[in-house]
């Protein structure tokens, strides 16, 4: 059951990219992020509100780190994704997100001075090269002329933001259970997004509540937000964080398949080259180390 739940989680996350890309011309990105998380908040509020009230003293005591986690994990990450998907494909977004484990390793080494082997550094460099291939479409002239798709830059910012969020989780309040932390992050994230969404609407055309927009927002709130959270926690509880983390590498597979099926996106040679480089870097930097740990535990 854990394998199914974790696979569904990644499928839901990939569907988030495809849904956002499908309606990118119908709704502004910050507004989309606000609507998604506002609906999440409304759906979980009956269960979350009593927990938040009981833990109010803990929440106030740890407000600085909670603000950091909420801004990075809820407000910034998804908003940057949606901004990026205004100009780039869902396939590119999924492939670039697959580099997150390597970016986390890089930031851990640089910011937290965690020990890193030469093989891991090689993996980091290869994965970064893979991302560069995706951003430049394997065209050296784009690099020389500094002519990049702004959407890919925003996706890169989202990858960096989620990696920083993942590092910051080590300072999460130990007194808070996972659901209460999630609810707090959503609440703060909605409050942070509200003024930016209102400002966005001043210069945007009136929002059209079409069936496609309504269904996309509903999907984003229920599947990649609430259900993915519950499924991921269940999978981690049964398999452990290390083994569950390996399922994240299904993101580019699901993302590319959904993009081709539902958006009619076309895959190019640079997609395959970028994916190969990123996966090679991930293996060198993370998978080989994780596999070694699992084998040593089994023995």
* HSE-up of residue 262 (Cα within 13 Å, Cβ side): 19
The pLDDT of residue 20 is 95
- Does 294 score more than 70 pLDDT? no
Q: What is the pLDDT of residue 250?
A: 77
And the tokens for 183?
């609810």
State yes or no: pLDDT of 118 exceeds 60: yes
DSSP-assigned letter for residue 28: -
- Give the closest residue to 85 by CA, choosing from 274, 266, 263: 263
Q: pLDDT-based confidence at 292, cuts 50/70/90?
A: very low
Cα 280 off chain centre by: 21
Q: How confident is the model at residue 122 (pLDDT cuts 50, 70, 90)?
A: confident
Answer whether 40's CB lies under 8 Å from 277's CB: no
Only one residue has tokens 């849904």, namely 19
- Residue that the structure tokens 């001075």 belong to: 113
Residues 215-226: pLDDT tens digits?
999 999 999 999
Whole-number pLDDT of residue 298: 36
Locus of tokens 């399922």? 247
Are 132 and 278 a contacting pair, CB within 8 Å? no
User: pLDDT tier at 115 (50, 70, 90 boundaries)?
Assistant: confident
Of 29 and 93, more confident: 29
How far, in Å, CA of 99 to CA of 101, rounded?
Answer: 6
pLDDT in tens, 176-214: 998 999 999 999 999 999 999 999 988 777 777 899 999
Q: Write out pLDDT tens, residues 146-177.
A: 556 889 899 999 999 998 998 898 899 999 99
């Amino acid at each position: 059951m854990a394998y199914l739940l974790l696979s569904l989680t990644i499928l839901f996350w990939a569907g988030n990219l495809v849904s956002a890309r499908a309606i990118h011309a119908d709704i502004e990105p910050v507004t989309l992020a606000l609507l998604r998380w506002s609906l999440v908040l409304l759906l979980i509020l009956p269960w979350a509100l009593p927990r938040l009230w009981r833990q109010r003293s803990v929440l106030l005591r740890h407000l600085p780190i909670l603000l950091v986690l909420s801004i990075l994990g809820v407000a910034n990450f998804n908003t940057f994704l949606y901004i990026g998907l205004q100009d780039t494909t869902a396939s590119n977004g999924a492939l670039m997100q697959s580099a997150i484990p390597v970016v986390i390793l890089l930031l851990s080494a640089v910011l937290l001075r965690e020990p890193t082997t030469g093989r891991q550094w090689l993996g980091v460099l290869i994965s970064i090269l893979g991302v560069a291939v995706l951003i430049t479409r394997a065209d050296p002239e784009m690099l020389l002329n500094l002519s990049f798709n702004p959407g890919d830059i925003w996706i890169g910012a989202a990858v960096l933001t989620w990696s920083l969020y993942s590092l910051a989780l080590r300072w999460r309040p130990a007194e808070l259970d996972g659901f209460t932390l999630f609810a707090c992050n959503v609440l703060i994230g909605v409050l942070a997004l509200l003024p930016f969404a209102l400002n966005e609407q001043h210069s945007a055309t009136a929002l059209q509540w079409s069936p496609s927009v309504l269904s996309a927002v509903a999907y984003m709130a229920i599947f990649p937000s609430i259900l993915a959270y519950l499924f991921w926690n269940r999978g981690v509880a049964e398999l452990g964080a290390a083994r569950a983390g390996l399922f994240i590498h299904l993101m580019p597979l699901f993302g590319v398949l959904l993009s081709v099926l539902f958006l009619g996106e076309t895959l190019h040679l640079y997609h395959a080259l970028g994916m190969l480089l990123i996966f090679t870097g991930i293996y060198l930097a993370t998978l080989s180390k994780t596999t070694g740990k699992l084998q040593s535990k089994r023995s």
